[in-house]
């Protein structure tokens, strides 16, 4: 019989309480949807992810950046989500929560094992579990990379701790083995070699073996040599990440944001992060980069940081946790603090997920030290812990609720951040989407246009806002859409979306050759852009180059195999090339994917007819007419099939319907004259409609 000790029961109880606290906050995420804030880029509009795990997708995950970033292992998990759950966002949200639970319990167990201190470890883990700044990485699907990277990072520390206790190759290699996927989930963990040295000092105390300085120096050299493989992995991923982000235009040059401006924002951001850790109010997914910074704010931040650094170092011997915790905080934030400025935001809540461990170590062990001599310590500590943790849980619950959909999130963001061009843009896009999904979306369209114009007012060089404004104007039938798209191209000449929209406008005006060139440019910039391939196929078909059009349709259908319209368009192109058997297969796939898509049934009927399968052709064409009684081509082709079978009355009915719907239909009129004149019914079906 297995005997469970009191200590094990206590440990299990704390772990269970941590998990219950997390579930109390995040049980609501199972009803959350995809956002138009990066979820579309990483998941719903990423063909490699939407196809699930495929050979092509796995290669793309490791070779093609997403959103100017390189996080291949995180991308692979999102592919697995699609394979398992399709487009249901609920289960992937729950998986994020599971990882957060795992990370919290792992952190508790690690701190306890390294320090031997039970309640400080539990309190630090509770702060990690419940803090509102951690809502973003847990409740946002695009932030899977944060919770996943942390999981592998903590496993890296677990095996490193075991190696420190028993230096064997087994534990060392296991630690290094887990560090690699941590890096490939999110490069922010590149500072691990420095963190390991901090942990060597405290709590592992690997530097305290001798008081002799020369011996300490020798030990330190040995400890440093241990970190070289980790350092090589970090530097390699740093180089890849900066290269990828530069290619994607995410890294801002010194001409855009000067070094002193970056340094000032970094100093202020460090202090701001500390403040919102203590007072987590006004949290948002996007904080605009400040247009100006007060010299007094920068100077005050610098003085504060220097003072804390000095205090931690002066307390090195009496309170070594201060050095490990505080410098953990400083070092882990360094890659994202803005010295290398990525994007246009000043800071981000998700960036605190790893660094917070350092501050929470300072808080937990500092509280332990401060209350050590209090006579009522056994009462003060639990009461104080509840007084801190209960409000954090409540604030986190409310903060998590804002992430349920795009409109809720960015309406909240505008309330707490003021002039925020990104929030206005994303809210405008979400309102447009809602307007298109409802019969009466006039108010939403007007509101969307207003938000997009506000985004442009705040950021006059915001290319995406011009592009989205063009779409809003186009959908409302207003003037100015083409001008907005062309302005987008002026600001972002290599924007695939802008190229496609301008090409669409050119095609609508009959400038087919210009449209083809623009679509081809979009395809060259974004080879996995389904819309670019499809629209290029449409333009090539209008130009008469059906072979080339079919090639583009094939690429689009391969990139997005679950889209019935793409398979139907490919079937149409194949019919125009008289490749009936292939057309039948594509049309049948379109019908399987969407049995209520009338064109798919129609093309299937034509494909059957061209292969002399009259009964199947009739069934498919009737299915198309059941779905769309006003489908002119379906009436005309069904009438021709019926006429060839001698079913004259039925044929006359369908030809008459075709004429009623399209009075200028000469072919249907001629067929009616033949049938009504009792002439031999030798009428061929009309050719399939052009794309």
Q: What is the pLDDT of residues 644-662, one digit of tens each?
A: 888 888 888 888 888 888 8
User: Which is nearest to 154 in space by CA: 202, 113, 126?
Assistant: 113
* Residue 241 predicted with pLDDT over 60: yes
User: 631 near 600, Cβ under 8 Å?
Assistant: no
Report the pLDDT averaged over residues 282-286: 96
pLDDT mean over 584-609: 95
Q: Are 471 and 432 in contact (CB under 8 A)?
A: yes
Decide if pLDDT at 587 tops 60: yes
In a domain, residue 655? The reply is: yes
Domain ends where: 401, 430, 447? 401
Structure-block tokens of residue 17 = 């309480």
Has residue 499 been placed in a domain?
no
Whether 447 maps to a domain, the answer reads no
Res 516 pLDDT > 60 = yes
Q: How confident is the model at residue 691 (pLDDT cuts 50, 70, 90)?
A: very low
The H-assigned helical ranges of 255-319 are: 259-278, 295-314
Q: What is the pLDDT of residue 247?
A: 62
CATH number where 666 lies: 1.25.40.10
Tell me the backbone φ, ψ of residue 342, rounded to 5 degrees: -105, 120
What pLDDT was estimated at residue 342?
61
Q: Quick check: is 565 in a domain?
A: no
Q: In this model, does residue 255 exceed pLDDT 50?
A: no
Higher pLDDT, 602 or 66: 602
Tokens 């360094």 label which residue? Answer: 334
CB 209 within 8 A of CB 219: yes
Length of the chain: 691
The pTM of the full predicted model, rounded to 2 decimals, is 0.89
Q: Is 323 exposed, middle or buried (0-12, 13-18, 19+ CB in 10 A)?
A: buried
For the segment 604-632, the average pLDDT, to the nearest whole number, is 93
Domain end marker among 372, 401, 430: 401
Say what the pLDDT of residue 256 is.
Answer: 56
Please check whether residue 500 lies inside any domain of the structure: no
pLDDT value of position 645:
86
Tokens coding 240: 């890849």
CA-based nearest residue to 523, from 507, 505, 509, 503: 503
- Looking at residue 672, its pLDDT comes to 77
Looking at residues 612-616, what average pLDDT do you find?
A: 91
Q: Residue 591: pLDDT above 70?
A: yes
Cβ atoms of residues 414 and 420 within 8 Å: yes
Residue 346: band (very low, low, confident or very high) from pLDDT cuts 50, 70, 90: confident
Residue 444 CA to residue 431 CA, distance in Å, equals 5
Give the integer Cα–Cα distance in Å for 401 and 408: 9
Band the pLDDT of 687: cuts 50, 70, 90: very low
**What is the sign, positive or negative, of the torsion defined by CA atoms of 461, 462, 463, 469?**
negative
Residue position matching structure tokens 């009803």: 31
Residue 254 predicted with pLDDT over 50: no
Mean pLDDT confidence for 310-336: 95
Rounded average pLDDT over 2-7: 82
pLDDT band of residue 291 (cuts 50, 70, 90) is confident
Share of the chain above pLDDT 90, in %: 72
Structural domain count, the chain: 2
Q: Identify the pLDDT of residue 209.
A: 55
Average pLDDT along the chain: 90
322 Cβ neighbours under 8 A, 6+ residues apart: 311, 312, 315, 316, 362, 366
User: Of the candidates 549, 536, 543, 466, which has an alpha carbon nearest to the alpha carbon of residue 504?
Assistant: 536
Digit-coded pLDDT (tens) for 561-585: 989 999 999 999 999 999 999 999 9
Lowest-confidence segment of 92-96, 130-134, 423-427, 498-502 by average pLDDT: 498-502
pLDDT at 213: 62
Asked whether residue 484 is assigned to any structural domain, the reply reads no
pLDDT tens-place string over residues 100-150:
999 999 999 999 999 999 999 999 999 999 999 999 999 999 999 999 999
- Higher local confidence (pLDDT), 450 or 526: 450
Give the tokens for residue 283.
């949290």
What average pLDDT does range 631-638 have in this prediction? Answer: 91
* Domain interval for residue 688: 576-691
Q: Among 401, 435, 461, where does a domain finish?
A: 401
Portion of the chain with pLDDT greater than 70, in percent: 94
Report, in angstroms and rounded to the nearest whole number, the Rg of the chain calculated over CA atoms.
31
Average pLDDT over residues 403-419: 95
Residue 627, pLDDT > 70, answer: yes
DSSP string, 491-547: H-TT-HHHHHHHHHHHHHTT-HHHHHHHHHHHHHH-TT-HHHHHHHHHHHHHHT-HH
Confidence of residue 208 (pLDDT cuts 50, 70, 90): low
Predicted local distance difference test score (pLDDT) of residue 684 = 52
More confident residue, 259 or 93: 93
- According to DSSP, residue 257 is labeled S
Q: Residue 451 has what pLDDT? A: 97
- With respect to residue 170, please indicate whether it lies within any of the assigned structural domains: yes
Written as six digits, the tokens of 177 are 């083995």
In this prediction, residue 658 carries a pLDDT of 85
Task: Assess if residue 107 is contained within a domain.
Answer: yes
Residue 214: pLDDT band by 50, 70, 90 thresholds?
Answer: low
Whether residue 434 contacts residue 441, with contact meaning beta carbons closer than 8 Å, is answered with yes
* Tens-digit pLDDT profile for residues 12-56: 999 999 999 999 999 999 999 999 999 999 999 999 999 999 999
Widest distance between CA atoms in the chain: 116
pLDDT for the residue numbered 252: 46
The CA dihedral of 396, 402, 403, 404, to the nearest 10 degrees, is 120
Cα(609)–Cα(322) distance, integer angstroms: 80
């Amino acid at each position: 019989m297995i005997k469970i000790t009191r200590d094990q029961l206590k440990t299990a109880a704390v772990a269970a309480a941590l998990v219950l606290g997390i579930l109390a906050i995040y049980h609501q995420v199972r009803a959350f949807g995809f956002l138009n804030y990066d979820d579309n880029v990483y998941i719903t509009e990423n063909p490699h992810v939407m196809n699930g795990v495929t050979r092509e997708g796995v290669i793309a995950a490791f070779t093609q950046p997403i959103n100017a970033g390189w996080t291949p292992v995180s991308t692979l998990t999102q592919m697995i989500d699609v394979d398992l759950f399709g487009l249901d966002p609920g289960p992937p949200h729950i998986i994020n929560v599971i990882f957060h639970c795992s990370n919290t319990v792992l952190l508790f167990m690690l701190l306890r094992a390294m320090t031997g201190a039970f309640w400080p470890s539990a309190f630090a883990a509770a702060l990690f579990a419940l803090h509102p700044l951690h809502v973003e990485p847990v409740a946002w699907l695009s932030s899977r990379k944060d919770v996943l990277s942390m999981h592998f990072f903590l496993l890296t520390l677990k095996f490193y701790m075991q190696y420190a206790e028993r230096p064997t190759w087994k534990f060392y290699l296991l630690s290094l083995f887990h560090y690699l996927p941590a890096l490939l989930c999110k490069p922010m963990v590149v500072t691990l070699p420095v963190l390991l040295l901090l942990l060597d000092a405290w709590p592992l105390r690997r530097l305290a073996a001798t008081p002799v300085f020369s011996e300490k120096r020798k030990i330190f050299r040995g400890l440093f040599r241990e970190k070289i493989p980790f350092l090589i992995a970090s530097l390699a991923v740093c180089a890849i990440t900066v290269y990828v982000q530069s290619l994607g235009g995410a890294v801002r040059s010194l001409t855009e944001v000067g070094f002193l401006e970056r340094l000032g924002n970094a100093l202020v951001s460090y202090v701001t992060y500390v403040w919102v850790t203590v007072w987590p109010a006004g949290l948002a997914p996007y904080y605009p980069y400040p247009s100006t910074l007060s010299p007094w704010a920068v100077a005050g931040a610098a003085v504060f940081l220097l003072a804390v650094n000095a205090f931690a170092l002066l307390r090195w011997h009496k309170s070594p946790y201060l050095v490990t915790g505080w410098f953990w905080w400083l070092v882990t934030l360094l890659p994202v603090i803005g010295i290398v400025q990525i994007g246009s935001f000043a800071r981000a809540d998700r960036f605190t997920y790893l660094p917070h461990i350092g501050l929470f170590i300072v808080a937990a062990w500092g509280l332990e030290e401060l209350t050590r001599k209090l006579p009522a310590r056994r009462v003060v500590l639990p009461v104080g812990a509840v007084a801190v943790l209960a409000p954090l849980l409540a604030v986190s619950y409310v903060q998590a609720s804002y992430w349920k959909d795009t409109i809720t999130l960015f309406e909240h963001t505008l309330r707490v951040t003021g002039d925020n061009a990104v929030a206005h843009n994303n809210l405008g896009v979400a309102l447009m989407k809602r307007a298109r999904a409802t019969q009466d979306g006039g108010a939403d369209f007007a509101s969307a246009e207003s938000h997009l114009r506000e985004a442009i007012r705040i950021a006059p060089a915001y290319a995406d806002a011009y592009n989205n404004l063009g779409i809003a104007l186009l959908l409302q039938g207003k003037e100015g859409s083409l001008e907005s798209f062309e302005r987008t191209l002026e600001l972002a000449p290599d924007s695939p979306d802008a190229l496609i929209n301008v090409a669409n406008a050119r095609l609508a005006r009959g400038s087919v050759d210009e449209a083809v060139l623009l679509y081809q440019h979009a395809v060259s910039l974004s080879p996995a852009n389904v819309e670019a391939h499809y629209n290029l196929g449409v333009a090539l078909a209008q130009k008469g180059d059906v072979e080339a059009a079919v090639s583009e349709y094939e690429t689009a259908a391969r990139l997005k195999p679950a889209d019935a319209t793409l398979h139907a368009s490919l079937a149409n192109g194949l019919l125009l090339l008289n490749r009936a058997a292939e057309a039948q297969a594509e049309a049948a796939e379109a019908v399987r994917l969407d049995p209520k898509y009338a064109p798919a049934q129609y093309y299937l009927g034509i494909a059957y007819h061209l292969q002399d399968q009259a009964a199947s052709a009739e069934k498919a064409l009737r299915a198309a007419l059941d779905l769309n009684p006003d489908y002119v081509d379906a009436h005309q082709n069904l009438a021709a099939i019926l006429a060839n079978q001698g079913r004259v009355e039925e044929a006359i009915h369908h030809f008459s319907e075709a004429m009623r719907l399209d009075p200028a239909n000469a072919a249907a009129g001629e067929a009616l004259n033949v049938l009504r004149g009792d002439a031999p019914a030798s009428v061929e079906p009309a050719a399939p409609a052009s794309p």
